[in-house]
């Protein structure tokens, strides 16, 4: 095979972070540390060529409204239903759910689940808690800031972690959600889990 015919070398896999609001830079840095190329997603065309997408924490109603205006709500749905892996953290978990028992807002509806926004209280009620997580050998310290929880999930959803009866981490075939903020810790296991188990990187 000549140099001209040689197969091009593959570069690092690309994983997007929805970059309209919230904890973007923290995810960017962790992805770089793990050898993945982060892509800040602000428009539908930014979804092209991604091996996965993180919808980060922030204010879910504001993020949802921006996604509607930019076309990203439909764009992310299309990415997901074509098999694109998605991870929603905190506000991203709210947006990923199929239903909420709170005020109506734009939602992606990617996971068969009923979500409660701000389920653990306001900002002043923020806390950290060690969590037992399915598939993890050691507890994971969850950082909860105005975090949601799932009250109930439907078929096809695997619960990964709970606090009492409140579901704080779950996954489906190509989706992961966490009520807490793994990007605010030095523990990269959830990012590694998303890349390995959900994105198959």
Q: Which residues are catalytic?
A: 90, 181, 183
Q: Give the position of tokens 């994971």.
A: 140
């Amino acid at each position: 095979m000549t140099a001209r015919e040689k197969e091009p070398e593959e570069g690092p896999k690309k994983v997007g972070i929805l970059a309209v609001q919230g904890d973007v830079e923290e995810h960017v840095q962790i992805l770089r540390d793990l050898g993945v190329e982060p892509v800040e997603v602000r428009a539908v065309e930014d979804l092209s060529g991604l091996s996965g997408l993180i919808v980060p924490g922030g204010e879910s109603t504001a993020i949802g409204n921006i996604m509607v205006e930019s076309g990203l709500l439909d764009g992310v749905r299309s990415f997901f239903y074509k098999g694109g892996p998605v991870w929603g953290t905190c506000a991203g978990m709210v947006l990923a759910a199929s239903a909420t028992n709170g005020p109506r807002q734009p939602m992606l509806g990617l996971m068969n689940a009923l979500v409660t926004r701000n389920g653990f209280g306001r900002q002043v009620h923020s806390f950290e808690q060690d969590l037992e997580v399915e598939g993890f050998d050691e507890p994971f310290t969850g950082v909860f800031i105005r975090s949601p929880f799932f009250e109930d999930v439907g078929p096809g959803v695997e619960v990964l972690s709970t606090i009492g009866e409140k579901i704080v981490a779950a996954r489906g075939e190509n989706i992961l959600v966490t009520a807490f903020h793994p990007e605010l810790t030095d523990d990269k296991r959830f990012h590694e889990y998303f890349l390995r188990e959900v994105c198959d990187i």
